[in-house]
Chains A and B, each alone.
Chain A
């Protein structure tokens, strides 16, 4: 009690005015900065409802409003196929990553086997191999196995990532062993213990993994460009389709803006719903790194 008074005391005479000024200053700054972050997205959204000549006018509201750009990219430029492809890849790869990095993370966290530390070092070592180095050999390997130009090669190289496996292992290490011992007493095997006990306990980690992996695959541009970016548009993802629209019809601003909104919107929706997982994921990665 005495201490609180002592530390707060020097503030009291000056607080009232300086606090108001400070607050006003911060709200002004933050509103300006927020405008810089919002205006581009809002402007893009409203442009997607403009006609082509109107898109040359620097005005926020379309005159007249039209949904023709949305119709065009949906039917003429086949964005529905690109969305389907992107959703398919993101779902398959996220499920594979969840299962395999969960299983692997559990084994590295809990099961004892000779060479475990060495193999775990190998997992961490993969983080040091950059994409630009493995690009050529991986492309050559996948070409030899006829896995280029379709989704199989892309799924295969993305089945599980070291980041996800490491993340799951770290989470499993924080779970008390009592739960598994109880399961063991009930006669559950290793897989059943993982599936019925450990995985449900790791729900916060799983949520973060699912969201971040879905976002990563949805936004991925580099590997899709290399593995199915040349040639057949039936395999294009949304990012490839948008890049192609950009290169081919760079002045069709309403269509391009509509395409950009489609490429962003699902991630925005997931972000609004689950933002704390994004933020905790980034921060925990930062603290560990």
Chain B
């Protein structure tokens, strides 16, 4: 009996050995290693001097570019999350009707979510350039992705269009889990569609709203691919496509200052973690049901 258990445990450890090694080596250990690196002058060739201290943190926290990056990503998140949720819910409500070809439309709306972000951004640069299709339609010559004042909002528009399909799928799942008898009751009372939505459907979507808010909020704070492509990797024009993740990337691979990059990574992790905790304590608590 003991032998059988020992054998089972042995196989168990064997089966999880490689995954645990990968997770330990490339997730758990780097967590501590990032903190370690952040206390040194660390360049492309490694640790440069014995001096330790919080100078990298001071540099990041006093760097105006980092402040701009935080401001940009805050604007972006405040814009993109409600817009994605609104679009996603609207699409879900349309798709949830008994209409012909709903599977086709559902797939069509979802597809941009899984297509390459680099390609989607590239196409957007083409369609929204000063002489492009979009300006031709609306009769304008605004270089949406090249002007410092519009670029972050252009990315907001682009990414809410791209990820609305994912939000739609989450909302569809939530809508389909609402029992039909509440609608039957509303129908008996002759409640209009608009009123039914606000009085019955929307309150019942609260848990879904919270889930989607958290998922898309955290995703938005990690903005990188689109900002990188649009700004040519430089954060320009005039730091308008600078984001915290791009800042970390540029400190490491343009300025070759790994210490500062690691410190920025730790700071940004703390910020996101703090926001998540606050969110859980405020909005999350009411959704315990």
Contacts and interface: CB of A to CB of B under 8 A. Distances in A.
Contacts of A135: 248-249, 252, 261, 265
* Chain A interface, >50% SS class: helix
Contacts of A122: 20, 23-24, 28
A287 B23 CA distance: 25
A287 B173 contact: yes
Contacts of B173: 283, 286-287
* Chain B interface, >50% SS class: helix
Contacts of A112: 5, 8-9, 12
Of A125, A140, A190, which is in contact with the most chain B CB atoms at under 10 Å from its CB? A140
Nearest to B171: A286
A147 to B, nearest CB: 11
Contacts of B178: none
B61 interface: no
A268 interface: yes
Interface in A88-129: 100-101, 103-104, 106-108, 111-114, 116, 119, 122-123, 125-126, 129
Contacts of B94: 26, 29-30, 33
Contact of B126 (A47, A134, A189): A47
Contacts of A261: 119
A103 B16 CA distance: 7
Interface stretch (A35-43, A71-79, A202-210): A35-43
B8 A111 contact: yes
Contacts of A189: 11
B93 to A, nearest CB: 10
B31 A133 contact: yes
B95 to A, nearest CB: 8
Given A47-B126, A112-B9, A58 B133 contact: yes
Interface residues of A, number: 97
Contact of A268 (B115, B126, B222): B115
B151 interface: no
Interface string B75-97: 00000000000000001001001
Contacts of A275: 107
B68 interface: no
B281 interface: no
A84 B189 CA distance: 62
Given A27-B99, A239-B118, A287-B173, A136 B12 contact: no
A271 B265 contact: no
Interface string B179-191: 0000010011010
A56 interface: yes
A106 B169 contact: no
Nearest to A239: B118
B169 A282 contact: yes
A267 B261 CA distance: 34
Contacts of B272: 130
A53 interface: no
B39 interface: no
A264 B115 contact: yes
Top 7 A-B pairs ranked by shortest CB distance?
A113-B12, A107-B15, A137-B30, A137-B33, A111-B12, A113-B9, A126-B27
27 contacts: A7-B187, A30-B105, A36-B161, A37-B112, A40-B124, A43-B133, A44-B123, A58-B136, A111-B12, A113-B8, A114-B9, A133-B266, A137-B30, A138-B30, A156-B22, A159-B18, A190-B15, A219-B115, A221-B117, A242-B116, A246-B125, A247-B233, A271-B107, A283-B169, A283-B172, A286-B169, A287-B173
Interface of B: 5, 8-13, 15-16, 18-20, 22-31, 33-34, 37, 42, 46, 91, 94, 97, 99, 105-112, 114-120, 122-127, 131-133, 136, 161, 166, 169-170, 172-173, 184, 187-188, 190, 211, 215, 222, 224-225, 228-229, 232-233, 244-245, 248-249, 252-253, 258, 261-262, 265-266, 268-269, 272
Given A111-B12, A112-B8, A134-B26, 11 more contacts: A43-B133, A100-B19, A106-B15, A112-B5, A113-B9, A119-B16, A131-B222, A139-B258, A218-B116, A259-B119, A283-B173
